[in-house]
Amino acid sequence: IVVATVPSLDGEEIEPYASRLFRAWKLGQAGEDNGVLLLVANNDRKMRIEVGYGLEGTLTDLHTRLIIENDMVPAFRAGDFSGGIAKAVDDMVMVLQGNPEELEARGTRNPADSNSVDPIVALFIIVWAMLFLGGLAMAFLPPIFGTKLSPGVYKWLGMTFRYGQRSGRYGQRSGSASSGGVWTTGTGSG
């Protein structure tokens, strides 16, 4: 197991850089291809575990992902670079010695799910989306799917929708005046 830290990858992706470094240093035993490279680019905030073909069945992609997400990322976020690297190397050795169960169990106990959303935030977003989309649906769907009762009045899903009218009770314009229970229209008083 070789640990390499570089300040920056100078814009290069970490996968080809790690692969090229692995081949250039000829890690592992000759003919066995059983080397492991832990590469950390500090300024780029990138890390990779490159595994030789001879160990791919032992130190799997699942194991390397668990090591990076559960050991290195939390330690690096806390500013403990050497501690994160040391923990990662210890876990790689544990897996290579034939004890991957502890790493896998830790991965299920402490899932590093940084993409999870707070339930309160999710509930707020859902309610807001329902109100907004419901309002849009009520504006456009009744004229399309509803029954037309009169100009601008539609009945849909047991509700009556009025569009383009300012109406008061009984369909009279809200600008109408009333007096003594008799409805009048126009500008006069009743």
Q: What is the pLDDT of residue 165?
A: 61
Polymer length in residues for the chain: 190
Q: Which residue has the tokens 């073909």?
A: 53
| Closest alpha carbon to 48 in 8, 17, 91, 23 | 17
Compute the mean pLDDT over every residue in the chain, rounded to the nearest whole number: 84
Domain with CATH 3.10.310.50 in the chain: 2-109
* Residue 167, pLDDT above cutoff 90: no
Predicted confidence at residue 84, as pLDDT, reads 95
**153-156 β-sheet, strand order:** 147-150, 153-156, 159-162
Long-range contacts of 107-111 (CB under 8 A, 24+ apart): 107/66, 107/69, 107/70, 110/70
Residues facing 46 on adjacent strands: 41
Query: What percentage of the chain has pLDDT greater than the value 90?
Result: 54
Q: Quick one: pLDDT at residue 9?
A: 94
Res. 137 pLDDT band, cuts 50 70 90: confident
What pLDDT score does 170 carry? 53
Average pLDDT over residues 72-95: 95
Which range, 13-17, 104-108, 119-123, is most confident?
A: 13-17
Q: Work out the pLDDT band at 80, boundaries 50, 70, 90.
A: very high
Q: Would you say residue 90 has pLDDT above 80?
A: yes
pLDDT band at 2 (very low <50, low <70, confident <90, very high): very high
Q: Is the pLDDT of residue 46 over 60?
A: yes
**Distances from the Cα of 64 to the Cαs of 8, 58, 93, 100, 103, in angstroms?**
21, 11, 12, 11, 10
> What's residue 111's pLDDT?
57
CATH T-level assignment (fold) for domain 2-109: Diaminopimelate Epimerase; Chain A, domain 1 (3.10.310)
pTM of the predicted structure, to 2 decimals? 0.58
Is the predicted pLDDT of residue 65 greater than 80, yes or no?
yes
Question: How much is the average pLDDT of 168-179?
Answer: 45
